[in-house]
Amino acid sequence: MAAIPTATRSAGRAPTPVGGVLLVVEHFWTWYRRNWRATAVSSILQPLLFLLAFGVGFGSLVGDSGATGGAPYLVWLAPALLAVSAVQSAAFESTYPVLSGFKWQRVYHAMAAGPITPGQVALGQLGWTTAKITGSGAVYIGVIAVFGGVARPTIVLSLLAAALTGAAVAALVTAFAATVESEGAAFNSLFRFVVVPMTLFSGTFFPVDRLPEWIRPVAWISPLWHGTELARDAALGIWRPLAVLGHVAVLAALLAVGTALSVRFFRRRLAL
């Protein structure tokens, strides 16, 4: 399908910058509230299975240990899985759905053919992804509480940390997806060589200081490690101001870079 000519663009009144972004978010919300069951497995059931397998099952063998600072393994693991769930959902929502918006369903082209700008489309996509992973995370906290994985009400701050981490990853992956023409090798490599290793070696299931010294710097540059540290400290009631500032600064910088690149690449690809 050829791009929609400039002459066919809607002559309707242009929305405000924020209004344009909200219109894009509304589009995705309208679809989601009718089809949410299709994503329930990946956004809620999958992290729940991780929680049951590692937190409840394996955790019963680990018990309280020095590696977890004396906290039960389930309580120590739960906020990390909250961050993992946000990152995995963000990565998935920012790959195939984004490419579909350009290549298959072409909803981005339809939006940009009207008064909504390509930049607003990009920001709306990121806004919707962040809202979705935050909502899924809130549900997940309820599940964690049922299984005894919530020790303090500060777990709510863990949700904010997970949402920031997911937003940073979503922005970077969305920018990457906006440059992809064929999903095969690009997305398979992303999940195989980035998302899966990041999940395993970012302090999720065991502390990073248990890794060999030569690989620890690789874990430290992972956005998931920063999100896990923030979420875990919040859930356990640990307050380290300098560490919090550092983790938030890194995630905010990644979010800013990813957002700027997403807007740029959306504008380039949706040029009419």
Q: Which domain holds residue 102?
A: 46-269
Give pTM, 2 decimals: 0.89
pLDDT of residue 243: 96
In a domain? residue 143: yes
In a domain? residue 205: yes
Instruction: Give the whole-angstrom CA distance, residue 137 versus residue 227.
Output: 13
Residue 9 has pLDDT above 60, yes or no: no
Question: Is 255 within 8 Å of 171 (Cβ atoms)?
Answer: yes
Question: Is 127 within 8 Å of 31 (Cβ atoms)?
Answer: no
Domains contained in the chain, number: 1
In a domain? residue 160: yes
Closest CA to 84 of 176, 197, 3, 190: 197
Question: Is 97 within 8 Å of 180 (Cβ atoms)?
Answer: no
pLDDT of residue 11: 45
In a domain? residue 1: no
Vertex 105, ends 101 and 109: CA angle to 5°? 55
pLDDT in tens, 145-188: 888 888 899 999 999 999 999 999 999 999 999 999 987 889 99
pLDDT of residue 109: 95
